[in-house]
Amino acid sequence: MRLTFHGAAQNVTGSCHLVECGGKRILIDCGLYQGGREVAEENREDFGFDPATIDYLLLTHGHLDHCGRIPLLHRLGFHGKILTTSATRELARLVMLDSARIQEEEARYRNYKASKRRNRGEPVEPLYDTLDALNCLDCFIDIASFGKAHDLCPGIRSTFYEAGHILGSACILLELSENGHQRRVLFSGDLGYDGRAILPDPATPPQADIVVMESTYGDRLHKRLEPSIEELYQAINTTIARNGNVLIPSFALERTQELLYYLREGIEQKRLPLHLPVYLDSPMANTATQIFRRHRECFDEETWEVIAAGRDPFDLPDLEITRDTAESMALKHARGSVIIAGSGMCTGGRIRHHLRHNLWRKEASVVFVGYAAGGTLARQIIEGEEVVRVLQEEVEVNAEIYTIGGFSAHADQQELIAWHARTGKPELTVLVHGEPEAMQILAGHLDETSVQMPSLHQSIEI
């Protein structure tokens, strides 16, 4: 039996882990690398294995860095089964189709730019296209429910557990048997934390011999949620009072729905203006919100109480959904408004247009409510760059910048340690999905287990 790490190895994107047992090959996730142009080029590199040899893919959740290379995997020969939750399947479909559209647009743009040069070079092909994204959907199979074991084949059994990260997210236990040897291998996927809006808390993990665990925030503690909510309200009220716009770069899945939930609460509790203009400028986030409404079985008790009272958890009195490009462009004239747009790391999407029109304004604010990987525009702004490049323009950073860590969908160091402690006393813990410094610090807190931090394509015999 062997584990090989083909992504999220000493970095936070591109999750892809290979399990080999009894002649079968199983992938846990197949995600896209995210970040600057150099990072994006890694997506075109060899997977490190032949896609046609993979029998099963188990998908922990629908974020791009966990599902974004599945269409490419399928195009290059994978025709096995993809097991995941129903909610994850719908979100992954949305994410992969959106990614295909972006890949196609990027290829068209680069080819257009090259057509103006004398030495045009070879045409740029998209990493994958819309048809690839649609074709891979035929491989998806919904699991029955959390906590119910599913026999993949003789000697290999999988069980999904609530991870509390985004809608439908899961930790996955693999029970492996080969030549009389048994191993229980637990993959954390991305872990949420207790007390968040909308989703249940992460389930108590099962006992395991080997734990493969994310370490995104292994080096730090988050701000507590309630002060973070208060800081959000204060940022909005202060900015609106000076007739500035509040820009919130937000991930379309989970973070946007969580923001809508808390904005609704703030208005109902009179902590925000009753008629607060809020623009959701993200077609993808709008569709994701509709998917949330379809999967109420994933909600926690507090959200069910809102629904039972006859209210929509994600609706606001003055919420405007901008659907087409013209409506989005018209927001450059908005003042005293909240604009929520993707992407969360400002690497693409409509948020870049709003930054170009507002980042230089002293009356404006930018509120970051999620992780920003190194090399991204979001990280540059957070780290205090005075001038940044937005859509081929140099823009001064005069707006007030807020970084509110309490909204993170990832568990922090304390929560990671507590989750790990409930897995028993695993012989081996493998840290993935984290930057090297965060991994090293977290490793120092994990007692009574051997810790490894594999490099890309490194294998571990289990």
Cβ 429 vs Cβ 449: under 8 Å: yes
> 81 has which bridge partners?
56
- What lies within 8 Å, CB to CB, of 332 at 6+ separation is 353, 354, 357
- For residue 442, the 8-state DSSP code is H
CATH number listed for the domain at residues 2-220+409-461: 3.60.15.10
Amino acid (1-letter code) at residue 407: F
Cβ 70 vs Cβ 92: under 8 Å: yes
What is the pLDDT at residue 347?
Answer: 84
> 252 has which bridge partners?
none
- For residue 192, the 8-state DSSP code is -
Phi/psi of residue 428, each to 5°? -135, 135
Q: How far is 380 from 458, CA to CA, in rounded Å?
A: 31
What is the pLDDT at residue 38?
Answer: 58
**What does pLDDT average to in each consecutive run of 10 residues of the chain (462 residues)?**
97 95 98 75 93 98 96 98 98 96 90 82 91 98 95 97 97 97 98 92 98 96 92 98 97 92 97 97 95 95 95 96 94 97 89 97 96 87 96 96 89 97 97 96 96 98 95
Positions of E strands within 50-198: 56-58, 81-84, 140-142, 150-153, 156-162, 170-178, 181-187
Domains of the chain by residue range = 2-220+409-461, 225-407
CATH number listed for the domain at residues 225-407: 3.40.50.10890
